[in-house]
Amino acid sequence: MAGHTITRAQLTEAVYQEVGLSRNESAELVESVIAEIGDALERGEMVKISSFGSFAVRQKGQRVGRNPKTGTEVPISPRRVLVFRASHALKHQINHGLTHRSTASGTSRAAARAGAARRHGDCV
């Protein structure tokens, strides 16, 4: 693992570079999208992002756990947990290295993806 983390600031910069909005507008857009995802999950709705994955909140019931150090049983209270399930497209991208960006040669990311899909026999 590389140990690199993508931050909100980096997402904002990517939106600024790709879409052409101002930096302030890009920051507002990123914050708005993150807030909407969070609000939908808080309401118990599933969030699906095409070719990326889906987020859902799952209810976990009360159970008895064990302190690994002492062996003492400890009750674990009921809670809601966030679950992410990656799409097949994202899994394929991760496993087959389709993240090649051709921005230096002037090719758009969408064109690069379409070319990669054609090389692998996928529908575009």
Both structure tokens of 29: 């857009």
* Measured torsion, CA atoms of residues 34, 6, 112, 46, in degrees rounded to the nearest 10: -30
Contacts of 55 (CB under 8 A, 6+ apart): 37, 41, 46, 47, 82, 83, 84
pLDDT score recorded for residue 97: 80
Q: What is the pLDDT of residues 15-51, one digit of tens each?
A: 999 998 999 999 999 999 999 999 999 999 999 999 9
Largest Cα separation within the chain, whole Å, is 61
Both structure tokens of 31: 């914050």
**What is the pLDDT of the chain when averaged over all its residues?**
84
What is the average pLDDT across 97-107?
50
Q: State percent of the chain over pLDDT 70.
A: 77
Task: Return the percent helix, strand and coil in the chain, to nearest 5.
Answer: 45, 20, 35
DSSP for 49-91 reads ETTTEEEEEEEE--EEEE-TTT--EEEE--EEEEEEEE-HHHH
pLDDT at residue 100 tops 90: no
Q: State percent of the chain over pLDDT 90.
A: 73
- In whole angstroms, give the CA distance from residue 13 to residue 67: 44
pLDDT score recorded for residue 110: 55
- In whole angstroms, give the CA distance from residue 98 to residue 49: 18
